[in-house]
């Protein structure tokens, strides 16, 4: 090794003799040891600390995220909407607009052009039906006839939709009111209210008649506003249980009065 060290000190000489295999191996090992030494500062050579999270912390983090999604931070209400219980739905494609309670949610795929309902009381809802532009050529709402005649058509349509194939089901219906009004937009609208009750046997397949007790399933009020524009018939439909009508009659009337149609 002494000979190898002395050769290392004289490596600049161009006339250095050839190295022995033993010296070559020693020098190669020395070079490898120098290459393996890091030239980075000590701070860079230290391994990065690993964040240690306990199972309890993970559970608390998951719970916090879940509560954050379930109860989001409430955003400030715009000044124009403060104190208002209604939101506005405007359909600029089909040409109509109306107001509905802010707490109600939209349900898609319900068959109507648009459908909103109370998230708690599912039998309280509002929807809009529009006639097909290819099969109707309405010029004004009076094309339906008088308000009473229009009410008969509305009631017939409801009974057709509520037709049931269940054994022992019976429906009772009546027209509560039918009237016309001139709205602020200068158009004439019809307002129709009908009541429909549904009865069913509690034991539909009972043999003895006395065992088939008829019970009231539901008792509902249906409020419709009819308007014509764009050669189409528009109908706003409100549905509420009959017992709710006296409590929310004012709000229901506001929804009916808010319905308008316009040219598109």
Percent of the chain with pLDDT over 70: 65
Per-residue pLDDT band for 6 (boundaries 50, 70, 90) equals very low
Which phi-psi region, left, alpha or beta, contains residue 111 (left: φ > 0; alpha: ψ -120 to 50)?
A: left
pLDDT at 174 over 80: yes
More confident residue, 183 or 46: 183
Q: What whole-number distance in Å separates Cα of residue 125 and Cα of residue 177?
A: 20
Q: 189-242 pLDDT, tens per residue?
A: 999 999 999 998 876 665 666 666 788 999 999 999 999 999 999 999 999 999
Q: 59-95 pLDDT, tens per residue?
A: 454 544 444 443 333 333 333 343 479 999 999 999 9
Strands, E, within 60-207: which ranges?
86-91, 96-101, 105-106, 114-117, 125-130, 170-182, 188-201
Is the CATH code 3.40.1000.10 the one for domain 85-261? yes
Q: What whole-number distance in Å separates Cα of residue 85 and Cα of residue 245?
A: 17
Give the residue from 124, 108, 125 showing the smallest Cα distance to 116. Answer: 125
CB 146 within 8 A of CB 175: no
List the domain boundaries for the chain: 85-261
């Amino acid at each position: 090794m002494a000979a190898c060290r002395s050769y290392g000190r004289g490596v600049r000489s161009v006339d250095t003799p050839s190295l022995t295999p033993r010296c070559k191996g020693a020098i190669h090992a020395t070079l490898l040891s120098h290459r393996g030494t890091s030239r980075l500062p000590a701070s860079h050579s230290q391994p990065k600390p690993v964040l240690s999270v306990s199972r309890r912390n993970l559970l608390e983090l998951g719970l916090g995220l879940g509560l954050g999604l379930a109860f989001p931070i409430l955003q400030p209400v715009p000044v124009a909407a403060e104190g208002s219980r209604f939101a506005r739905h405007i359909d600029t494609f089909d040409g109509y607009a109306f107001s509905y309670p802010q707490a109600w949610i939209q349900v898609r795929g319900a068959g109507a052009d648009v459908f909103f309902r109370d998230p708690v009381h599912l039998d309280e809802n509002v929807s809009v039906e529009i006639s097909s532009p290819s099969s109707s050529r309405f010029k004004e709402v009076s094309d339906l006839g008088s308000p009473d005649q229009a009410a008969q058509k509305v009631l017939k349509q409801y009974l057709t939709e509520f037709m049931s194939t269940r054994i022992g089901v019976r429906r009772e219906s009546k027209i509560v009111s039918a009237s016309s009004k001139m709205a602020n937009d200068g158009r004439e609208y019809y307002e129709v209210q009908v009541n429909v009750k549904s009865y069913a046997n509690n034991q539909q397949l009972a043999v003895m008649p006395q065992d088939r007790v008829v019970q009231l399933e539901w008792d509902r009020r249906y409020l419709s506003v009819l308007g014509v524009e764009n050669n189409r018939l528009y109908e706003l439909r409100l549905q509420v249980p009959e017992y709710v009508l006296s409590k929310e009659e004012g709000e229901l009337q506001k929804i009916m009065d808010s319905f308008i149609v316009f040219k598109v």
